[in-house]
A and B are shown apart, each in its own frame.
Chain A
Amino acid sequence: MKQLRLLAALLFAAIAVSPAPTLAGEGGRTPKPTVSIENPGHCVAPAEEMRRNHMEMLKHQRDRSLRQGIRGEPASLNACIECHASKTTGSVLGDGKAFCQGCHEYAAVKLDCFECHQPKARFKAAGLKP
């Protein structure tokens, strides 16, 4: 019983001295995603807008492209991949530094696009060889 009380006290002390995780603000204590931008300054919209709205832009574009057949729109997943794929891995997925995966991992948002779409830039499928 004495041991348990000691353990509880130690645990309380550990929590009390640990840095507060909330309200870190711009003080630099909040971890940020380590996303590398391969071609900075070439995006179709400012970074702020892309961060907030890229999913809406892609969603509306995908319906217009697939259902109405409108091609060559400014927002396009393939254009995102071509520009943002890592120059070392050639992909927007792979690890925490990859453009799409890095940020989505940080924000804990599921990334469904690449269950069907190809995450590698300039990928050429070989197809089934007879």
Chain B
Amino acid sequence: MNAPERNPRRAFIAAAGAGVAGLGFTAIAPGLHLMAVGEANAAARPAGTAASPAVRWGLLIDATKCAPGCTKCIDACHEENGVSEQLPDPRQNSQWIRKIELVDRRNGRVTTLPMMCQHCATPPCVDVCPTGASMKRADGIVLVDRHTCIGCRYCMMACPYKARSFVHTNLSEQNPEVPRGKGCVESCTLCVHRVDKGQQPACVEKCPEGAMTFGDLNDPTSAIAKRIASVPTTQVRGDLRLDLGVRYQGI
């Protein structure tokens, strides 16, 4: 009698199950793939290929689902990006993502939302950077190249969203995939190291309310593009016409 792994039908069922569980897709036969439903990100970009300008990564945050007092997205960000320093002056701590509370004074209605780098299509931080360290990748992710950042903090002044932080102290607890250090400006990277592997940003993955959707704004079949096409969404300070990658619903 065959061992279970030798039985081709059982192997197929196991492979299909694994594909649905997390791999994204599974080959059923040559050229025929079983696609998993609910996968928000595409497969990992193959090694050796550059970020594509056809893609525009974005986030949709549903503020109606964001729970007041919950800081799971911030904790996930700190863990993923190795943000752990606590300085004597807390205003100097790095802040890649923060929770904002909006109160309607007339009726007391409270709305909370996470706020981070909005990944503008025309980022003011890139405009003002004197060394070219502040940059936008082809797929719309705004990053700081620490190799050329001189820590002048012009970008912090230019950012309308207060998204950037300056590292004031020597660090030793960085994650290998997220280098950060004293004297450079930093901000949300949209977890670029995860996105390149085909994963979602840490905050999106850890949000218990499912209030954040990550995906390709340029792909009309993506969950985020469909949602933006069907419900009213807001760009914060849309009057600045920066064409933001992060959109909000319910504010």
Residues of A within 8 A of B (CB): 62-64, 66-73, 78, 81, 115-118, 120-128, 130
- Closest A residue, CB atoms, query B46: A72
* Range class of the B interface residue count: 35 or more
| In the bound complex, CA of A116 to CA of B149 (Å) | 12
B82 adjacent to chain A (CB < 8 Å): yes
CB nearest to A62 among chain B residues: B147
In the docked arrangement, what's the CA distance between A72 and B197, Å?
10
The number of residue pairs between A and B whose CB atoms lie closer than 8 Å in the complex comes to: 91
Q: Which of A81, A116, A123, A124 has the most CB of B within 10 A?
A: A116
A127:B138 contact, CB within 8 angstroms: no
Within 8 A of A (CB), among B164-179: 170-171, 173-179
- 13 A-B residue pairs with Cβ-Cβ distance under 8 Å, sorted by A, are A66-B145, A67-B137, A68-B137, A71-B45, A81-B176, A115-B170, A120-B176, A127-B75, A127-B80, A127-B83, A128-B78, A128-B84, A128-B85
Alpha-carbon distance A62/B75, docked complex (angstroms):
28
Does A116 lie within 8 Å of B180, measured CB to CB? yes
Q: Is B182 an interface residue (CB 8 A)?
A: yes
Query: Are B137 and A69 within 8 A (Cβ)?
Result: yes
A130 to B49, CA, bound (A): 38
Knowing that A78-B177, A118-B176, A126-B84 touch, tell me 15 more A-B residue pairs with CB under 8 angstroms. A66-B143, A69-B50, A69-B138, A69-B139, A70-B49, A71-B48, A72-B48, A117-B174, A117-B176, A117-B179, A118-B175, A125-B173, A126-B79, A127-B80, A128-B83
Are A116's CB and B174's CB within 8 A?
yes
What are the interface flags for B213-234 relative to A under an 8 Å C-beta threshold, 1 for contact and 0 otherwise? 0000000000000000000000
A125 touches B175 (CB 8 A): yes
**B176: contacting residue among A62, A68, A78, CB under 8 A:** A78
Q: Which of B160-208 contact A (CB under 8 A)?
A: 170-171, 173-182, 184, 192, 196-197
Alpha-carbon separation in the docked complex, A122 to B47 (Å):
21
The distance from the CB of B178 to the nearest CB of chain A, in whole angstroms, is 8
Q: Which residues on the A side are within 8 Å of B26 (C-beta)? A: none
- Contacting residues of chain B (138-152) with chain A, CB-CB under 8 angstroms: 138-139, 143, 145-147
Q: Are B51 and A69 in contact (CB under 8 A)?
A: yes
B47 engages A71 (CB within 8 Å): yes
Output the nearest chain B residue to A70 by Cβ-Cβ distance: B50
Cα–Cα, bound, A72→B196 (Å): 10
B86 CB-CB contact with A under 8 Å: yes
What is the CB-to-nearest-CB distance from A64 to chain B, in angstroms, rounded to a whole number? 8
Q: Is the CB of A127 within 8 A of B84?
A: yes
Once the chains are docked, how many angstroms separate the CA of A64 from the CA of B83?
A: 25
Is B48 in contact with A125, judged by CB distance below 8 angstroms?
A: no
The answer for the CA separation of A73 and B50 in the assembled complex, in Å, is: 11
A44 to B75, CA, bound (A): 37
Instruction: Give B149's nearest chain A residue, CB to CB.
Output: A116
List, in ascending order, chain A residues with CB within 8 A of B48's CB: 70-73
Residues in B with CB closer than 8 Å to A62 are 147
Q: How far does the Cβ of A115 sit from chain B's closest Cβ, in whole Å?
A: 5
When the two chains form their complex, are residues A115 and B175 in contact, meaning their CB atoms are under 8 A apart?
no
